[in-house]
Structure 1
Amino acid sequence: MSASAAPSNWVFSRVVFGLVFVPVVYVLFDSVVTDVDDVFIPMPDDLLCNLNECKEQVRELLLTLGKTQSGGGGNCLGAALQAAYKLLAPIGGRVSVFQCCLPNLGPGALQSRENPNERSAKDVVNLNPATDFYKKLALDCCGQQIGVDLFLLSSQFADLATLAGISKFSSGQVYYYPRFHVTQAPDQVERFVGQLRHYLTRKIGFESVMRIRCTKGLQLHTFHGNFFVRSTDLLSLPNVNPDVGFAMQVSIEENLTDYSAAVFQAAVLYTSSQGERRIRVHTLCLPVSALLPEILQGADQEAVVGLLAKMAVDRSLSCSVSDARDALINAATDLCHAYSLTQRSTAGGLMMMRNCKTLPLYVLGLLKQRAFRVGVSTKLDDRIYDMESIKNLPLDKLLLLIYPGLYPLHLQLPEGQMPPRLQLSFEKVDKVGLYLLETLDTFFVYVGGRISPRLLENVFGVSKFSQLPDSMVRVQMDG
């Protein structure tokens, strides 16, 4: 699919509008489908356009869309998705959905099922979809090489647990802006603009499949990510991009004593945006050992916690959040206990090998995530979004979600040298310091109350702490 080929735009409230581009006479007009229960494609030959030929009409559409489509008392997302599927089915591609409320009309209509009074309950309910409509439609899209990405811009409950299925099973992504407001939440607008710009300009692969193979005697099972499992080792990915990650679980089915190494290989076949068919292959060889100490010393704590996090999401959906929390804690304690068995120390308590010494800290970070916390008021859509992120993020970004990076900016360092990363503890924060906290999608700058005037002047252009801009929020910290 060429980058210059752009699908038409669908706008939906109570009816579905197809915006038709006619490049010869430079006209843009609405094609309205009022029967949302039986959607069809009016003028199918004119609902797709070439971006190079219709660039001005597209620009005009974006400038006038908010004025011409004011919305209504209902939302027929399901019908709009069905129309988009029928339109792109012959050629495949990508659908970008911008949703602001709960769909309540036509196919896929939903009802609010969140009780605000139960947000802090220990037994979290309604984590699974209310209907399989969006999952089935996603599987249809996957079969026609169509990926669907969902941008949810809503401060009200929108049932992300159900809507996310359209992206999960079509190799799409979910973007979530819970406090989005054009004038009252500039930080959310800035985040949306930045992520949308990146979304539209990043590299993308179409019509992708991923095959994962391993040494005989090992069995792959339970893949994690957004895709459709076509066979035991083949994943269908209508769209693939650099911002997603995948994980798998492996079981040992046969004795591996005849092998010195276990080999894993992942191959991705895809079509580039220039129409070139390409293949990318990654091969990993790991030594085989029958000795428990060697196995434990070779463990990668970041990979372990990444897989534990994804497994915990599945446990939450199949059992409960409390069960997932217990499983995370048990996994950490079992690893400590296994290592303790290999040591001859008579000291009491659990021990942890050096290469996994911060794994309990990562697990503690996971327990504090919105996905797994209990007893704290948490919106259902917020919880589901964190779960979707954990399942779909690559490892480096997942670790930032679990344990953000804290860096001192006030240190005098040689040019080109990065400041050291600090432990997330209040005792590491000095009142005369300036710190950068890096999270998954946001940077926070913490300014100590006794910071030097010179540093304030150099960084913020003010000489006193009280002169900092009103847009900066004052944080009260204990201690």
Structure 2
Amino acid sequence: MHTHCQRSAPEAPDLFSAPLSLFSLLILRPEVQNVSLLPPNSSWHYSHIHTHTHTHCFSAKGSNFFYSKAEAAYISMPDLHLNDSLTPSLVLYSDLAAPPAGVPAKQAPPFGYNYPTMHPAYQQSPAPKPDPSPSHGGYNPPGYQPYSQVLTLVWDSESVGVSELEAETLRPMNLLQERNILPPKRAPPPEPNLSNDLRKVNCSPDTFRCTLTNIPQTQALLNKARLPLGLLLHPFRDLTQLPVITSNTIVRCRSCRTYINPFVSFLDQRRWKCNLCYRVNDVPDEFMYNPVTRSYGEPHKRPEVQNSTVEFIASSDYMLRPPQPAVYLFLLDVSHNAVESGYLNVFCQSLLDNLEKLPGDTRTHIGFVTFDSTVHFYNLQEGLSQPQMLVVSDIDDVFIPTHDSLLVNLKESKELVKDLLNALPGMFTHTRETQSALGPALQVAYKLMSPTGGRVSVFQTQLPTLGAGLLQSREDPNLRSSTKHLGPATDFYKKLALDCSGQQIGVDLFLLSSQYSDLATLACVSKYSAGGVFYYPSFHHIHNTAQRQKFQKDLQRYLTRKIGFEAVMRIRCTKGLSIHTFHGNFFVRSTDLLSLANVNPDSGFAVQMSIEESLADTSLACFQAALLYTSSKGKRRIRVHTLCLPVVSQLSEVFAGADIQAISCLLANMAIDRSISSSLSDARDALVNAVVDCLTAYRANGSNIQPSGLIAPAALRLFPLYVLALLKQKALRTGTSTRLDERVFSMCELKSQPLQQIMHMVHPDLYRIDNMTELAALHLNDSVIPQPPLLQLTAEKLTREGAFLMDCGSVMYLWVGKCCNEMFICDVLGFPNYASLPSNMTEIPELQTTYSERTRAFISWLLESRTFHPAFHVVKDDASTKTSFFQHLVEDRTESAFSYYEFLLHVQQQMSK
């Protein structure tokens, strides 16, 4: 049954506090030339732009640095001490150099997906001889000679004081000559040059990673290297081993509040020196006892000092209120568009299947709100024979009809919840409502959840059209990359998110839409409340099997993964280092404190840093992230990660310790911010100039002899390739072919995903899998897992006789050539030949053949550490869907973007200016 609810004396809800802005920094030059990265034969669009910002400004060494101060209230947390003297610092990493001058030329013809690819620069030279192995394609630009010569540019490792290990990372490479720069497997992060004892206890790079594993001694040295200094964190990731410490006393530095860790020094049994501020502290009596060895008098052997990642059970000192229960509220779009997509069936069945697995305890609460042109509540109070629907039609002044029975104890009302989930898909089958009152639904969610906090899961299928937060379509096919459209159309969702964050409410958004829905605006509700965004374009439960399967698997993970409530995270660092910009989904309370209403194991964060004072007096720099949260069981916990890195005084050592994947991810975050605050062209120019500046610095400080070619140290050999891949990402590519919502979602992913996921997105892994053997295979748990080598992302590596797997992180493609071995097609895909393969195949069948077992074992191994299951597409060579596969071949030229070789020439040209 359902009831219409009205209220006689409506009161306008005062939901919004004053808007708060995130602490942000912009590095711009007063004059920026707007030049698209087009192939040499294409017409160059050239314009001269004067950039103006309303920010504070001062000049240093000829460059203008702009910054805006944070306007955010700080709420004190007893576990995370704020140093009041810490002030925002300025980025001294300049990422904008003079862009190229326009070169007018005839329009180049479209460059299609024919293969093997002939690079445009080779067309005046003899064609390279065909290579019999598709795994080793030729790459012979004009004037090419085999790289057997000794480069005249040499770093003298003895004179600059680097180890033998670092000397290899400094080996000069001519990128225009050395084609095969990809390692056979995805390269692990560089190991810091630490003693074995320190290396053993250092934080895992999967959790805590720095762009430079050798920290420059001064900001001047960092500026000289032209590399960004920053951290990438995955603080709440799933761990197989986590020391959990229950103690009456959590030992911390009395001055800077650093948690005791493996990198402190014990002066004697009773005193320890903080590794961040160097304060000498007393060792508490309780800390003298080691609960692991059950011995007394060995504080240096306690778990806190033997593990760089630990979790403390917090006392009442770390609570502002008693821990709240886990509360889950689901907001469901039930308009005609939503019903037609069929998502409601998939959602209800997934929640039914995972209801028992929702994180929580006997106090867990749950509730449901549906909406179209009105808002519907569901009374699930224990004792009712069936769920009761309550309809509120006054969306201009929406109110809650009853407070006691809409969020109910899951254990007590489980049968009513199941009844509702079974009934929901059929309740709106014949609806004619096409409107969407998302804003009012979010307002009532805020009111419902404010007393306790918790998680709101929003499922939306169209543009909000009624009530507060209504939006109008603003997608102009000719302006899909304009700054105006990349930002929100209204601040309604941001303000609501900030209110939610203040009440410890996190909002996750699932957008399942076949049309423009203004994700740039809607995503704000998740971005500022520490939520997540999930996007399923063209979702339909029947016509889009791949999206339906991905939605199902994403829900399985989403509903069952670990969750933390009422969280805050603070990052501390060695005296002399400072934090100035955060990236991710959160609200910034102060210069080093993030408010996270919800925290999940799939979110990543990035931090930009600078060096305010010389580190000459220390040989080690340390960073510590402390995450205080309430577990789904109602326990207050503190997860602490500590990273230790060496401090160096030589430029060569800075280059040797460069972590190119971490650098690329940090630059991606910076570029996303730049594209929204300034323009997409500025962001793209900044990325190119990051490569130009860095390689120019390396050349200028490596030798006085200037060889021909493009020289990079081995540690940075992939830098140009990764930047080119970033430029071809949906988030940052030029042109109008990328739908606006898809571009914005790609931006959201780059800003909130962990490093490993970002790198799969930016530079996918390509393997040939039709000829896999047991050579060099892994043998795990009685399974043989082949290890095919990584291939360059170019059509040169493809052959019509093969089958190639591309792992893009959130999606996988299996491209099958027209002349692929029929045995592979039969034994792996289950069809007799290529012609019989369907064009919409989205999974590999489980067949009892050696080929099938090898292939499935390899794919399962790739997915082993993956949290969300990727969509899977089998792509035929002659299918229209092959475009989605070929667009990831980032080394090839497209109609509006360089090939890898052309990009190297462009970088070389910019360096010579």
The answer, yes or no, to whether TM exceeds 0.5 is: yes
Equivalent residue number for residue 361 of structure 1: 721
CA gap of 1:124–1:133, structure 2 versus 1, over 3 A, is: closer
Greater CA radius of gyration, 1 or 2? Answer: 2
Q: What displacement does 1:123 show?
A: 4.5
1:458 corresponds to 2:827: yes
CA distance in 1, matches of 2:832, 2:462: 45
State the partner residue of 2:23.
none
Compared CA separation, residues 143 and 71, structure 1 to 2 (3 A): farther
Structure with more contact order per residue of length (Cα contacts < 8 Å, sep ≥ 6): 2
Aligned length, in residue pairs: 477
Structure 1 CA distance for aligned equivalents of residues 549 and 826 of structure 2: 26
2:450 to 89, 101, 106: 89
Q: Contact 2:540/2:547 (CA < 8 Å) preserved in 1?
A: yes
Instruction: Note closer, same or farther for the CA distance 1:142–1:193 as it changes in structure 2 (3 Å cut).
Output: same
- For the pair 1:389 / 2:749, whether they are aligned, the reply is yes
Q: Distance in 1 between matches of 2:549 and 2:522?
A: 24
Counterparts of 1:274 and 1:356, CA distance in 2 = 46
Structure 2: 5+ residue runs without aligned partners? 1-324, 327-359, 778-783, 842-874, 887-891, 893-913
Q: Could you tell which deviates more after superposition, 3-12 or 63-72?
A: 63-72
2:515 aligned residue:
156
Matched, 1:205 2:564: yes
Deviation, 1:470, is 4.2
1:301-380 correspondence runs (5 A): 301-344=660-703, 345-380=705-740
Relative to structure 1, the CA distance from residue 123 to residue 117 in structure 2 (aligned partners, 3 Å threshold; closer, same or farther) is closer
- Conserved? CA contact 1:263–1:286, under 8 Å: yes
CA distance in 1, matches of 2:449, 2:739: 35
Letter in 2 for 1:128: G
Shift of the alpha carbon at 1:159?
0.9
Percent identical: 52
Instruction: Tell me the residue number matched to 2:876.
Output: 474
The AA in structure 2 aligned to 1:475 is D
Which residue, out of 537, 540, 544, partners 1:185? 544
Pairing partner for 1:116 from 474, 477, 489? 477
The letter of the residue matching 1:316 is: S
Matching of residue 445 in structure 1 with residue 814 in structure 2: yes
Is 2:781 aligned against 1:418?
no
Which moves more between the two structures, 300-309 or 270-279?
270-279
User: Cα 1:316–1:9, aligned 2, differ >3 Å: closer, same or farther?
Assistant: same
Question: Which residue of 381, 400, 415 maps to 1:22?
Answer: 381
CA distance in 2: counterparts of 1:124 and 1:169, whole angstroms: 20
Give 1:475 shift.
3.0
Give per-residue Cα distances to partners, 1:432-474, cap 9 Å, x unaligned.
Answer: 2222111121121112222222222211223321122342442
- Specify the SS of the correspondent of 1:147: strand
Residue deviations 1:263-303, cap 9 Å, x none? 11111111111122211111111211221111111110001
* Conserved 8 A contact 1:209-1:236: yes
Q: Distance in 2 between matches of 1:60 and 1:346?
A: 76
Q: Match for residue 290 of structure 1?
A: 649
Mapped to 2, the partners of 1:71 and 1:262 lie a distance apart of 63
In the other structure, the counterpart of 1:8 is: 367
Retained in 2: the 8 A contact 1:123–1:322? Answer: no
**SS of residue matched to 1:46:** coil
8 A contact 2:386–2:419 mirrored in 1: no
Cα 1:123–1:83 change in 2 (3 A) is: closer
Structure 1: runs of 5 or more not aligned = none
Distance change >3 Å, CA 240–CA 71, structure 1 → 2 = farther
Once the two structures are TM-superposed, the CA of residue 233 in structure 1 deviates from its matched residue by: 0.8
Is 1:268 aligned to residue 627 of structure 2? Answer: yes
Q: Name the stretch that deviates more: 208-217 or 251-260.
A: 251-260
Provide the alpha-carbon RMSD of the alignment. 1.8
Q: Give the letter aligned to residue 106 of structure 1.
A: G
For 2:615 and 2:839, locate their aligned partners in 1 and report how far apart those are by CA, in whole Å.
Answer: 64
Whether 1:146 aligns to 2:505 is yes
1:430 Cα shift? 2.8
Greater shift in the superposed pair: 431-440 or 242-251:
431-440
Cα gap change, 1:19 to 1:326, in 2 (>3 Å) = same
CA distance, structure 2, for counterparts of residue 366 and residue 116 of structure 1: 22
Contact 1:218 1:252 (C-alpha < 8 Å) held by counterparts = yes
For residues 159-212 of structure 1, what are the alpha-carbon distances to aligned partners after superposition, in whole Å with 9 as ceiling and x for unaligned?
111111100000000001111112221111111111111100111111111010
Asked if residue 436 in structure 1 is aligned to residue 813 in structure 2, the reply is: no
Deviates more, 1:63-72 or 1:321-330: 63-72
AA in 1 matched with 2:540: H
Q: Which moves more between the two structures, 40-49 or 444-453?
A: 444-453
Deviation readout 1:294-345 (Å, 9 max, x if unpaired): 1111110001000000000000010000100000000011111111122224
Paired residue secondary structure (1:9): strand
CA distance in 2, matches of 1:110, 1:467: 46
CA–CA separation in structure 2 for the residues paired with 1:453 and 1:381 = 40
Q: Does the C-alpha gap of structure 1 residues 149 and 463 become closer, same or farther in structure 2, counting only changes over 3 Å? A: same
Deviations 1:69-121 (A, max 9, x none): 336132111111110111111111000000111112111111111113434xx
* 1:417 Cα deviation after fit: 4.1
List aligned pairs for 1:17-166, cutoff 5 A: 17-69=376-428, 70=431, 72-119=433-480, 123=482, 125-166=484-525
Q: Distance in 2 between matches of 1:63 and 1:337?
A: 64
* Superposed displacement of residue 124, structure 1: 5.1
Bigger proportion of residues as helix = 1
Contact 1:219 1:250 in 2 (8 A): yes
Secondary structure at 1:316 match in 2: helix
2:582 pairs with 1:223 = yes
Query: Which has the larger displacement, 431-440 or 130-139?
Result: 431-440
